[in-house]
Structure 1
Amino acid sequence: MTPLVQAEQAVLGAIFLEPGQLDRLSSWLRPEHFSRPAHASVYAAMLHLKADGHPAAATMADGPVPLAWVTDTLREASARTRGLTASYLHSLASACPRPDHAPVYGRMVLEGAIHRSVAQHAARLHQAALTDGRAGTVEETLHHAEVLTDVLAELARGWGTEAHPVQPPAPYAPQAERPQPVGEQVLADEEFLLGCLTSRPEQLLGLVRWLRPGDFTYPGHQQLYRALGALHHRGEPIDQLTVLWETQRRGALADGTLDAERVRRVCDPLVGGAAEHFGEQVVQASLVRTAALAARQVGALADREALAPGQLIGYALHALGPLDDVRRRLRLAHEAEQPEPRPPGSQPGAPPPAARIDAARARSRLAERAEAPAAPAAASCAALPSRHNHRSPS
């Protein structure tokens, strides 16, 4: 018999021995907090009899308890759950160490209910994420993510603590997981999105607010998106070769994350389309993956019986933090906003302003000077022509 079941028996036994203990429990301990249906039915019967003005409910600690209190509770509870006997109800009374400790036993029952409720809703979120992942949708995941957040807030109020995220210490930190399998359609959407951005780099302006490298499943695609963003930020031309060069500078070719053939294939200049649509698909897939991971982490925390309810709620909200971020960015992707106003005379696809190019070059020169060797070597390199002074023939 687990300590939780013993606590449930003790709180019910305390009420049988001193029915007046219900006044200290009825405002915050509910039948659904009991893990066993029989215990929930007995407690619900007690609450019902008290609400109907049963004379035993007003019995003080030093007064005799009418026998009708047990028999009436048995009759009322038997209408809710079959199999209850008078002998079992009498055994509940003998299972209570101290009737005046009923609120403490009740808190034990409530603590078990909080762990159980968090685990159940985390499992529902995980199942919804798996279902949406197969269907390519997000509606069920969004619904159950909101439900879990609301449940955590409600449980915090019931326990009397603040519902705010708390980073767990190392012993309770989530463990690294093996990468989950990814559908071919998700990878195809990512590749097509990167191809759209390579052929029409101006579309990056509409995506950078809500699309992050971590939204891509494949590490190579993350590196390509970073390379595209870096080139666009520096105002440099974007094509197959420049993207390949940038990924090489970032070490993605040397460490095997990407190879030149794949970069050229993904950055095919013949690919065209609305990047916003495929970007939204990528964020949706990211939301489903993030929800599944967060649900597993919250479920693992709920299984840690050593965690107090306040700790469990705070750590669970922290685990849901990345999911909240993806939900926020998906809302931004859904918004039908007008494109940002462009400077007068500028057109989509036009070269960036000269001032922006000069600023990017200045940053590059500063980095080069910071990494330069000693003065004699630097002087010997001064005669070499700067790569910024070369222009491709037009």
Structure 2
Amino acid sequence: MNPLLGAEQALLGAVLLDPNQLSHLDWLAPDHFYRPVHQALFAALRKLRSDGHPAVGADGPVPLSWVTDAAKEAGLHVRGLTPVYPHTLIQACPRSEHAPVYGRMVLEGAIHRAVAQHAIRLHQVARADALRGEVKGALRSADVLAGVLRDLARRWGTEPRPVAPTTAPGAAPAMPPVRGDQVAEDERFLLAVLAEQPRAMEEVVDWLRPGDFANLAYGQLYRCLGALHHRGEPIDRITLLWEAQRRGLLADGTLSGEQLTAICDGVGAGSAEWLGERVMRSSLTRTAAASARAVRALAEDEALVPGRLINYALHALGPLDEVRVRWETANGSPAPKSPASTPVPDGPPPARVHVALARSTPRPVPPSSVLPGSAPTPSAARPPSRGHS
């Protein structure tokens, strides 16, 4: 038998045997159950309790009407519930006083399902945004997923904080970018503009990173451009080729001289900022889809307890948060510029050194501080189970 199905059946059987067990399950909701018939039954049992059914709080054996009334009420909201099934649930319950433990198992399964469902949603929206050339939907879905993780942490009684998995999960196969031809064209055009107009690096250097390029070779070429820019050296076809050779990109086959020449000889007229934003937009939706796949893989690992699942999932959203901060920097209001420093003859300006260090060692985005919630704890004393009359 599936362990989750067994837990749902045992929990409902415990409540059918002992209605007072509902007082220990106020933190559990009907939608935490996987099977619709179980959702309807648990909702019916809670309704009977709130309506003051005679079986709740009564001394002595539990009247049979508790079972029949629950089945009748549930049958109004779900199809396929037979009068025999509640008795099957009673037989599936080993001990009715273990209902809170069974409920915790049901909640654990619900947490895994909720995380997986929202991760799938984020992946779908990110791919759709990539097709439309937008990012709002992906960012909104990422916020929803993060909010769900924090809410689930509160329900489970743990503190939501990003934690890296102790063992690195198996890397999922990389998916090609949506509209890959257009993405590659934007990246190639941007590099041509930066090679032709070295001053254009100032427009993108603060927020565009080599990892934002879908094409590995283009990302490495952008790294070479950034290195020349940070050192204050001239940028042209020869210096760029020399920098690529110094970094071993020609020897390992990442780049070829023909590729670099084709980019440098391409049309170099255009707006680096506009092209950079297009590359950044593609990077954001691609990162959102990758984070969604990572979260879904975690949610489908049944061996992960909810606390670890939530914190690992928050960690998996970290790369998306980092890209998002840079995207907002690229599209937000420009920060007030400080007075230009006087260039030092022996080296590049201090502002350029600061940017170079920031690019080399990007600071991680600190997680938002969230007060830990606490889940209701079941009472220590539980009434003994009672039989039906």
Q: TM-score, normalised by structure 1?
A: 0.84
- Give the alignment of 1:118-137 within 5 angstroms: 118-137=115-134
**1:5 aligned partner:** 5
Whole-angstrom distance in 2 between the partners of 1:141 and 1:131: 9
**Cα distance, 1:59–1:265 mapped onto 2, change above 3 Å:** farther
Deviation of 1:338 (Å): 5.7
**1:34 aligned partner:** 33
RMSD: 2.1
Indicate if the aligned counterparts of 1:156 and 1:310 stay in contact, CA closer than 8 A.
Answer: yes
Indicate if the aligned counterparts of 1:56 and 1:66 stay in contact, CA closer than 8 A.
Answer: yes
Deviation of 1:341 (Å): 4.9
Whole-angstrom distance in 2 between the partners of 1:270 and 1:311: 51
Return 37-46 or 76-85, whichever deviates more.
Answer: 76-85
Whole-angstrom distance in 2 between the partners of 1:267 and 1:29: 63
User: What is the DSSP-based 3-state SS (H/G/I as helix, E as strand, rest coil) of the residue aligned with 1:272?
Assistant: coil
Q: Does 1:282 align with 2:242?
A: no
Whole-angstrom distance in 1 between the partners of 2:92 and 2:108: 20
Any runs of at least 4 consecutive aligned residues in structure 1 with deviations exceeding 4 A, and if so which?
A: none
Which of residues 131, 143, 152 in structure 1 aligns to 2:149?
Answer: 152
**2:71 aligned partner:** 74
Deviation of 1:278 (Å): 1.1
Q: TM-score, normalised by structure 2?
A: 0.85
Whole-angstrom distance in 2 between the partners of 1:40 and 1:294: 31
Whole-angstrom distance in 2 between the partners of 1:200 and 1:339: 25
Indicate if the aligned counterparts of 1:20 and 1:59 stay in contact, CA closer than 8 A.
Answer: no
Indicate if the aligned counterparts of 2:14 and 2:21 stay in contact, CA closer than 8 A.
Answer: yes
Return 92-101 or 79-88, whichever deviates more.
Answer: 79-88
Which of residues 242, 245, 263 in structure 1 aligns to 2:242?
Answer: 245
Report the number of matched residues.
349
Q: Give percent identity, aligned residues only.
A: 55
Letter in 2 for 1:186: V
Whole-angstrom distance in 2 between the partners of 1:167 and 1:338: 33
Deviation of 1:20 (Å): 0.5
Whole-angstrom distance in 2 between the partners of 1:280 and 1:339: 21
- Give the alignment of 1:289-368 within 5 angstroms: 289-337=286-334, 340-341=337-338, 343=340, 354-357=345-348
**Cα distance, 1:340–1:207 mapped onto 2, change above 3 Å:** farther
Q: Does 1:173 align with 2:169?
A: yes
Whole-angstrom distance in 2 between the partners of 1:228 and 1:282: 16
Indicate if the aligned counterparts of 1:19 and 1:59 stay in contact, CA closer than 8 A.
Answer: no
Indicate if the aligned counterparts of 1:125 and 1:291 stay in contact, CA closer than 8 A.
Answer: yes
Indicate if the aligned counterparts of 2:177 and 2:286 stay in contact, CA closer than 8 A.
Answer: no
Q: What are the Cα deviations for residues 109-145 of structure 1, in whole angstroms up to 9, with x where unaligned? A: 0001111111111111111122222232222211211
Larger Rg computed on CA atoms? 1
Q: What are the Cα deviations for residues 258-285 of structure 1, in whole angstroms up to 9, with x where unaligned? A: 1112212223475122211111111111
Q: What are the Cα deviations for residues 317-376 of structure 1, in whole angstroms up to 9, with x where unaligned? A: 1111111111111111111316745638x9xxxxx76343599xxxxxxxxxxxxxxxxx
Indicate if the aligned counterparts of 1:21 and 1:102 stay in contact, CA closer than 8 A.
Answer: yes
User: What is the DSSP-based 3-state SS (H/G/I as helix, E as strand, rest coil) of the residue aligned with 1:6?
Assistant: helix
**1:374 aligned partner:** none
Whole-angstrom distance in 2 between the partners of 1:220 and 1:341: 35
Indicate if the aligned counterparts of 1:239 and 1:269 stay in contact, CA closer than 8 A.
Answer: no
Whole-angstrom distance in 2 between the partners of 1:181 and 1:274: 23
**Cα distance, 1:136–1:296 mapped onto 2, change above 3 Å:** same
Deviation of 1:305 (Å): 0.8
Whole-angstrom distance in 2 between the partners of 1:5 and 1:266: 59
User: What is the DSSP-based 3-state SS (H/G/I as helix, E as strand, rest coil) of the residue aligned with 1:57?
Assistant: coil
Indicate if the aligned counterparts of 1:194 and 1:225 stay in contact, CA closer than 8 A.
Answer: yes
Deviation of 1:257 (Å): 1.1
Which of residues 70, 82, 85 in structure 2 aligns to 1:85?
Answer: 82
- Give the alignment of 1:43-82 within 5 angstroms: 43-59=42-58, 63-82=60-79
**Cα distance, 1:324–1:257 mapped onto 2, change above 3 Å:** same
Q: What are the Cα deviations for residues 55-93 of structure 1, in whole angstroms up to 9, with x where unaligned? A: 222246xx3212221122112111110221221111111
**1:235 aligned partner:** 232
Indicate if the aligned counterparts of 1:167 and 1:318 stay in contact, CA closer than 8 A.
Answer: yes
Unaligned runs of 5+ in 2: 351-389
Letter in 1 for 2:55: A
Indicate if the aligned counterparts of 2:177 and 2:183 stay in contact, CA closer than 8 A.
Answer: no
Letter in 1 for 2:48: L
**1:21 aligned partner:** 21
Query: Which has the higher relative contact order, 1 or 2, with Cα contacts under 8 A spaced 6 or more apart?
Result: 2
**Cα distance, 1:301–1:59 mapped onto 2, change above 3 Å:** farther
Q: Does 1:266 align with 2:257?
A: no
User: What is the DSSP-based 3-state SS (H/G/I as helix, E as strand, rest coil) of the residue aligned with 1:354?
Assistant: coil
Whole-angstrom distance in 1 between the partners of 2:170 and 2:284: 18
Q: What are the Cα deviations for residues 273-323 of structure 1, in whole angstroms up to 9, with x where unaligned? A: 221111111111111111111111111111111110111111111111111
Whole-angstrom distance in 1 between the partners of 2:130 and 2:309: 27
